[in-house]
Amino acid sequence: MGSETLGLRERKRIATRELIERTAVELVLELGYDEVTVERICEACDLSTRTFFNYFPTKDAAIGGIAIVVPPTEVISELLDAHPNDPLHGALAVFAEAMKIMDERPDLLVHRRQLFERHPTLLQQHLATFHELEDTLTRMLTEELLERPTHGRLPADMAAADEATATVIIAGASMRYVFRAWQKSERDRPRAELVDPALTLMAHILRSAH
């Protein structure tokens, strides 16, 4: 099999996943959460339940979707190493990598926001993945700062773990702000262009608190 065949298979896999997600969200918006089952989603998609479970472990996973994907540790290391002496922008690069999937289907995200407002429990898997990313990134950034103290931005007498924790929290908050601002915009510019203005805004707010 050539690369062209493999490429076609991958495109079909992505198309099937998106079909399941869109159908699940549309059905819940139309019928209500309790009325939608895996079987009903499969019937609407003309797919077997076996195919459904090849893509999603539960109904909620299909409805809520995948907000972020925690990058492999080697990718996180590469992104941190690409920003020596600037842990914050290294952490921001990791969050941006994890959130890439959000750029693919903005219309679906709008519908999901409606579902999350109606059914807050659907947010739990998103929060769990976000916390997993924060924990992994904090641990790896702490190790980075311990191995290369000169890469830190704070005085040497401050603990690497404290700097890493604060850095990841700021980066995460910035990316959440950026994503909300991007959602409210015309989405005619990359989210990356909103990062520096977000950091400037947060710096002004923090300075005004003193």
Residue 26 falls inside a structural domain = yes
Tell me, what amino acid is at 57? P
- Cα diameter, the chain: 64
Question: Residue 137 — very low, low, confident or very high, per pLDDT cuts 50/70/90?
Answer: very high
Q: Is 31 found in the same domain as 77?
A: no
pLDDT tens digit sequence for 153-192: 777 667 899 999 999 999 988 888 887 777 666 655 666 7
Q: How many distinct structural domains can be found in the chain?
A: 2
pLDDT given at position 2: 43
List CB contacts of 148: < 8 A, sequence separation 6 or more: 84
Residue 97 lies inside a defined structural domain of this protein: yes
Which of 33, 30, 93 minimizes the C-alpha distance to 64? 33
Q: Are residues 16 and 50 in the same domain?
A: yes
Looking at the structure, tell me whether residues 39 and 130 fall in a common domain: no
Which two tokens mark 91? 């952490």
Name the token pair of 159: 């603990």
The rounded distance, in Å, linking the Cα atoms of 19 and 12 is 10
pLDDT of residue 6: 53
How confident is residue 134, by pLDDT bands cut at 50, 70 and 90?
very high
Is the alpha carbon torsion for 117, 103, 34, 129 positive or negative? negative
Q: State the CATH number of the domain containing residue 49.
A: 1.10.10.60
Most confident listed range (20-24, 55-59, 181-185): 20-24
Query: Is residue 1 scored above 60 in pLDDT?
Result: no
| pLDDT at 188 (0 to 100) | 58
Grouping H, G, I as helix, E, B as strand and the rest as coil, residue 31 is helix
Residue 135 is predicted with a pLDDT of 95
64-115 residue pLDDT tens: 876 677 899 999 999 999 998 899 999 999 998 888 766 556 677 778 778 8
